[in-house]
């Protein structure tokens, strides 16, 4: 007899009823909040062509693809050939690349600009840990077809509004939105003398700023063979950052390396977004913010909460990705919500879990109740449900106290015990 394994695959989770109540409540708030900003929901398949997933657009995520092998005769031919790719598709590692393919394929039927909301599972063969899974839900909003900074301002305002609504239920009012621009990151590297082809490698090291600091970055860059004087010049701009504006940080970057319009654009995004966020939400220019995806071309964002060592949202502008599919660049920018991480934080704060709305009725029927009496109860339950109440009907257990305690933990507040008259 085959041995069955009752636990889920590593890095993937079963969701208990209490978990699903919380998840569905948060998803409802996300959809309601984003719809107020004009975003409309779409859906893309969880599986993508392997050529799309391995196009060097996804950064380190391309190392974490769950590949799907060819089937039947196609797989047999690939094996017989002894070379080439055995996979022809894979599970998506994010929602941005599928959205770009979706837009290129359907753009004639979509408005411009197009404000998309996409919610669904993504998959990464990552090392599981708290707040990080191999299968998890992402929630993305994107604006395609708008090349002005109004797109970034809308994304920051909408995401801030949504997070404020969700976290206010557990008493969290403060979080920080970090903003930078990939062009500023490139400009700082070019100003120090690094070649264009080296910038991607340089930014991989800078992305570790929070973990290894400037000394660690200096050591890593030197070990990678970069000139020590060039490295020192590069890192000098990142000394004593404090709470500085974009203009203050960029004052020593030559105009040949960085268009001054980038600085003006950054200041406009930050000052405009600040007028639309709730009290307690900070928006800061963060010159060390990198974002690992290779497809970002302009402003980038990340959201953090004190006392948690992971970001809860991130995104940025990716004006070149759609063009990979249709041959014509389309301005695009998006914000991705770390749904699982938000759920992790909420569960930390909700000592007794999330309960369904109050004023819900549990009807407990004794085992000896007659059919006629049951029919009366079923009619009564129908009327209560039509009136908008949640009603569950259960047979009464011997240990009724334990049964009621369990129902109370699920949010039931009204109990009707039914016996024969």
279 labelled binding-site residue: no
Other CB atoms within a 10 A radius of the CB of residue 131 amount to 18
Beta strands 135-144 and 332-338 are: antiparallel
234 labelled binding-site residue: no
Burial class (CB in 10 A: 0-12, 13-18, 19+), 240: exposed
CA separation, residue 226 to residues 83, 182, 414 (Å): 36, 21, 71
What's the residue count for the chain? 421
124 labelled binding-site residue: yes
Coil, helix or strand at residue 384: helix
296 labelled binding-site residue: yes
289 labelled binding-site residue: no
Strands (E), 61-167: 67-69, 87-91, 114-123, 135-144
129 labelled binding-site residue: no
Tell which residue, 180, 174, 64, has the closest CA to residue 123. 64
- Dihedral in degrees, nearest 10, Cα atoms 42, 295, 332, 245: 120
243 labelled binding-site residue: no
- Token digits for 109? 């039927």
354 labelled binding-site residue: no
307 labelled binding-site residue: no
Tell which residue, 333, 305, 325, has the closest CA to residue 116. 333
Residue numbers in the known binding site for L-histidine are 94-96, 124, 138, 142, 291, 295-296
Residue numbers in the known binding site are 94-96, 124, 138, 142, 291, 295-296
């Amino acid at each position: 007899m085959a041995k069955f394994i009752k636990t889920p695959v590593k890095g993937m989770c079963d969701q208990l009823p209490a978990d699903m109540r919380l998840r569905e409540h948060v998803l409802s708030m996300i959809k309601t909040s984003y719809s107020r900003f004009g975003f409309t929901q779409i859906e893309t398949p969880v599986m993508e062509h392997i050529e799309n997933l391995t196009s060097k657009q996804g950064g380190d995520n391309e190392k974490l693809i769950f590949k799907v092998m060819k089937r039947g005769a196609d797989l047999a031919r690939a094996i017989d050939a002894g070379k080439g790719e055995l996979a022809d598709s894979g599970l998506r590692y994010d929602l941005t690349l599928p959205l770009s393919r979706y837009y290129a394929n359907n753009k004639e039927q979509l408005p411009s600009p197009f404000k998309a909301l996409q919610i669904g599972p993504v998959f990464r063969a990552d090392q599981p840990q708290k707040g990080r899974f191999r299968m998890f839900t992402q929630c993305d909003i994107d604006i395609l077809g708008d090349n002005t900074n109004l797109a970034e301002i809308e994304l920051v305002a909408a995401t801030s509004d949504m997070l404020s609504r969700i976290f206010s239920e557990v008493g969290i009012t403060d979080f920080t939105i970090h903003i930078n621009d990939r062009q500023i990151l490139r400009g700082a590297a070019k100003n120090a003398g690094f070649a264009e082809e080296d910038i991607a490698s340089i930014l991989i090291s800078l992305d570790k700023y929070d973990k290894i600091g400037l000394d660690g970055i200096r050591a890593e860059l030197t070990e990678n063979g970069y000139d020590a004087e060039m490295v020192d010049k590069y890192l000098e701009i990142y000394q004593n950052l404090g709470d500085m504006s974009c203009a203050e940080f960029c004052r020593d970057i030559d105009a040949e390396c960085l268009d001054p319009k980038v600085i003006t654009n950054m200041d406009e995004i930050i000052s405009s977004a600040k007028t639309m966020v709730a009290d307690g939400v900070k928006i800061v220019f963060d010159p060390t913010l990198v974002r690992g995806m290779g497809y970002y071309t302009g402003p980038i964002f990340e959201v953090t909460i004190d006392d948690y060592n992971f970001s809860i949202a991130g995104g940025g502008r990716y004006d070149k990705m759609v063009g990979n599919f249709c041959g014509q660049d389309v301005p695009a920018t998006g914000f991705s919500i770390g749904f699982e991480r938000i759920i992790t934080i909420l569960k930390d704060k909700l000592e007794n879990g999330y309960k369904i709305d109050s004023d819900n009725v549990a009807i407990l029927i004794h085992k000896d109740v007659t059919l006629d009496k049951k029919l009366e109860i079923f009619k009564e339950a129908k009327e209560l449900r039509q009136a908008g109440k949640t009603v569950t009907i259960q047979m009464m257990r011997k240990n009724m106290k334990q049964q009621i305690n369990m129902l109370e933990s699920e949010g039931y507040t009204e109990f009707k015990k039914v016996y024969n008259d």
